[in-house]
Amino acid sequence: MLKHVRRATLALTTTAALAASLVAAPTQAATPQASSSAGWLAGQLTNGIAHNDQYDIDDYGLSLDIWFALDALDVRAGTRSDILDALESKIADYTTYNGTTYSGPVGKLLAAVETAGIDPATYGDGSLLPTLRSLVVTSGPETGRAKDDDAGGADYSNTIGQSYSVRALSLADDDLKSSTTTYLLKQQCPKGFFRESMGTADDGDFSCASGRSAGTSSPSVDATAFAVMALRVARAHGVDGIDDDIKDAVTWLKAKQHKDGSFTGNGEPNSNTTGLAAAVLAGPAPKAAARAARWLDGLRVTKKLASDGALGGEAGAVAYDRKAFRDAVQNGIGNDRDQWRRATAQAAVGLDALP
């Protein structure tokens, strides 16, 4: 349990709380493969934090990725509590840098806190929800956009961060849940996919259409998956009229699956992208999700591989791609541990789609 028991006063129903997870909580125990990966992820934490030994930094964003994976699989409640307990005193370190407050991290941490059933007013200094609200544009063509607060004008907000903001504000049943959802939907293109960019100051309406001439409306499996997750939470919390938008995005995702089950992101098939897609498709398209999960399982370190040799003790870890897996079989994970952690955090939930 959390060190300070603070159950939410957000009136979260059981259904809504489940919908807030990365995907709906499993109706049965996680598959052995997913559980193995969850165990490996838990072993990558030190006092609830993923520490990057190569660069000697604490990676709070990755720590949350692990939290969302464990929560979606409904496993290791103690580890999940450890992560949020550890981050409670690190809010400013995670969400701000050199005076700039970043909307993506604020929304991501707030979504985790609310999903855990914690009243955000009692978490840290209680500023997460007010801060996110202050970052949402309330007038003009960018209405509903959660933007970074940079005095110099720089803004790195994108569709993935917007998706977390939609989830957080929907869970809080905040008045801004509708406008942030509307802005997220502006990033959906006619074919159903979501772009990762949300436009720059030069855009007129900050939509997929306006980004075509600027080259900022390329399809993204990752952004589409995160957007679908967010829209499902928004729908569960009373945002109406988005069923067709969700359906179009899922249809597009299914069409982008390769014959071997994988999905491409950053120009190559990889476990991060495939894991996200599998998690989203598990409900509406279980066969497609299972194909993706089988591909992911081919990149997972089995008990046999982990019994000795270069991958000794690494059972459950998932490689980013085929090359990374082959290299690790010969040489171990080595300095690529950060990549393996990120890959496993998103692949673990996808592995739960195995029959």
CA-wise closest residue to 8 among 124, 167, 116, 132: 116
Domain count, the chain: 1
Residue 3 lies in a domain: no
At 267, which helix (H) or strand (E)?
none
Side-chain half-sphere exposure of 228, counting CA atoms within 13 A: 28
Average pLDDT, rounded, for the chain: 91
Residue 248 lies in a domain: yes
Residue 275: phi and psi, rounded to 5, are: -65, -45
User: CB–CB of 265/210 below 8 Å?
Assistant: no
Interatomic CA distance for residues 240 and 281, integer angstroms? 21
Residue 55 lies in a domain: yes
User: CB–CB of 159/184 below 8 Å?
Assistant: yes
Per-residue pLDDT of 89-101, as tens digits, reads: 999 999 999 999 9
Q: Quote the domain boundaries for residue 339.
A: 14-351
pTM of the entire predicted model: 0.92
Residue 8 lies in a domain: no
Residue 1 lies in a domain: no
CATH code, domain with 53: 1.50.10.20
Q: How far is CA 210 from the centre of its chain?
A: 26
pLDDT at 150: 84
User: CB–CB of 112/345 below 8 Å?
Assistant: no
> pLDDT class for 25, splitting at 50, 70, 90?
very low
DSSP assignment, residue 136? B
Interatomic CA distance for residues 182 and 176, integer angstroms? 10
Q: Quick one: tokens of 197?
A: 């960019």
